[in-house]
Amino acid sequence: MAKLKDRYADALIELSEEKGTLEEDLKQAILVRDALKSDDVQTVLIHPHVPDSVKQDLFNKAFSGKISRNLMGFLYLMVRKKRESLIVPALTEYIERAKRRLGKVEAKVVSAKPLTEKQIESIRTILSKKINVQVEVKATVDPDVIGGFYVMVDGRIFDCTIRTALNNMRERLKRGSIMNDS
């Protein structure tokens, strides 16, 4: 299934690049993905007894005039081929690839408490310099994070949590190398 998702994402990227509409198609793909990813919508889309015509009407009512013919055609194709469960994963993959082609990546910052805009901007600036692309930061709060934060970006994790610092210190103490690190 993962390979199929990738093939659909590749085909959408090719169409967008062919038409020179990658940036606009990216915005539309985000709109569609976000609208279709709820559990209620997924239940209707993947239900075997809901006729294809009902699913296509759902797409028309939700997206007519808001998305390109290519994207609407993609949605119809997925319904026709009984691959409704792949719509959101394929769009998610397309979005990641399109952002990368446009020189953008998304970073998820998870912290113990809400970050200020200044802190988020500082993280964005540092990450952009570190990985040489424009970074969009999505900040979330996780009470399980004792203190500090961690960042997930482009398949990497930058961990600046207190728990990790304490674990590293404990490991250095076990090895007897804490005095040598100073």
Domain-wise residue ranges, the chain = 2-100, 104-175
Asked if 89 and 9 count as a contact pair (C-beta separation under 8 A), the reply is no
Nearest to 41 by CA among 59, 21, 60: 59
Which parts of 47-150 fold into alpha helices (H)?
52-63, 69-80, 87-101, 117-131
Count Cβ neighbours within 10 Å for each residue of 135-154 and write b for 16 or more, e otherwise.
bebebeeeeebeeebbbebe
In this prediction the pTM is: 0.70
Q: Which CATH number fits domain 2-100: 3.40.50.970, 3.40.50.300, 1.10.520.20, 1.10.3720.10?
A: 1.10.520.20
| pLDDT tens figures, 42-81 | 999 999 999 999 999 999 999 999 999 999 999 999 999 9
Collapsing DSSP states into helix, strand and coil, what is residue 141? strand
Per-residue pLDDT band for 180 (boundaries 50, 70, 90) equals low
Is there a common fold for 2-100 and 104-175? no
Per-residue pLDDT tens over the stretch 121-163: 999 999 888 888 888 899 999 988 888 899 998 778 889 888 8
CATH architecture of 104-175: 3-Layer(aba) Sandwich (3.40)
19 contacts 70 by C-beta, under 8 angstroms: yes
- Amino acid making up residue 179: M
Tell me, what DSSP letter sits at residue 103?
T
